Structure 1
Amino acid sequence: MVTYTGDVTPGGAPDVRDAGGLRITKVAVDEKMSNNCYLLRCRTSGAQVLVDAAAEPDTLLPLIGEAGLTTVVTTHQHWDHHRALKAVVDATGAEVAAGFPDADAITEQTGVEVTRPVRQGDVVRVGEVSLEVITIAGHTPGSIALLYDDPEGHPHLFTGDSLFPGGVGNTFGDEAAFIQLIDEVETKVFQRLPDETWFYPGHGGDSTLGAERPHLAEWRARGW
Structure 2
Amino acid sequence: MTYTGDVTPGGPPAIRELDRLTITKVSVGPMDNNAYLLRCRTTGVQVLVDAANEAPRLLDLIGDAGLATVVTTHQHMDHWLALEEVVAKTGARPLAHAEDAPGLPITVEPVADGDRIPVGDCTLEVIHLRGHTPGSIALLYQDRVGTSHLFTGDSLFPGGVGNTKQDPQRFGQLIDDVEQRLFDRLPDNTWFYPGHGKDSTLGRERPALPRWRARGW
For 1:56, the aligned partner's letter is E
Matches within 5 A, 1:3-152: 3-30=2-29, 32-106=30-104, 110=105, 112-114=106-108, 116-152=109-145
For 2:6, the aligned partner's letter is D
Q: Deviations over 1:50-89 (max 9, x none)?
A: 0000000111000000111110000000000000001100
Whether 2:162 is the aligned partner of 1:169: answer yes
| Residue 176 (structure 1) shift | 0.2
Contact kept in structure 2, 1:74 and 1:97, CA below 8 Å: yes
Structure 1 vs Structure 2: percent identity of aligned residues? 65
Q: Deviations over 1:134-173 (max 9, x none)?
A: 0001000000000000011300000000000000000011
Q: Deviations over 1:17-61 (max 9, x none)?
A: 11121100000000x310000000000000000000000011100
For 2:84, the aligned partner's letter is K
Post-superposition, which runs of at least 4 consecutive aligned residues in structure 1 deviate over 2 A?
none
SS at 2:126 equivalent: strand
Measured in 2, the distance between the counterparts of 1:49 and 1:214 equals 33
Measured in 2, the distance between the counterparts of 1:20 and 1:188 equals 25
Whether 2:199 is the aligned partner of 1:206: answer yes
Contact kept in structure 2, 1:19 and 1:153, CA below 8 Å: no
| Residue 100 (structure 1) shift | 1.1
For 1:130, the aligned partner's letter is T
Q: CA RMSD in A?
A: 0.6
Measured in 1, the distance between the counterparts of 2:180 and 2:147 equals 19
SS at 2:166 equivalent: coil
Q: Deviations over 1:108-128 (max 9, x none)?
A: xx2x111x2000100010000
For 1:142, the aligned partner's letter is G
Measured in 2, the distance between the counterparts of 1:44 and 1:125 equals 13
TM-score (norm 2): 0.99
Whether 2:146 is the aligned partner of 1:153: answer yes
What residue ranges of structure 2 are gaps of 5+ in the alignment? none
Whether 2:179 is the aligned partner of 1:179: answer no
For 1:197, the aligned partner's letter is T
Measured in 1, the distance between the counterparts of 2:9 and 2:20 equals 27
Contact kept in structure 2, 1:20 and 1:153, CA below 8 Å: no
For 1:152, the aligned partner's letter is V
SS at 2:198 equivalent: coil
SS at 1:101 equivalent: coil
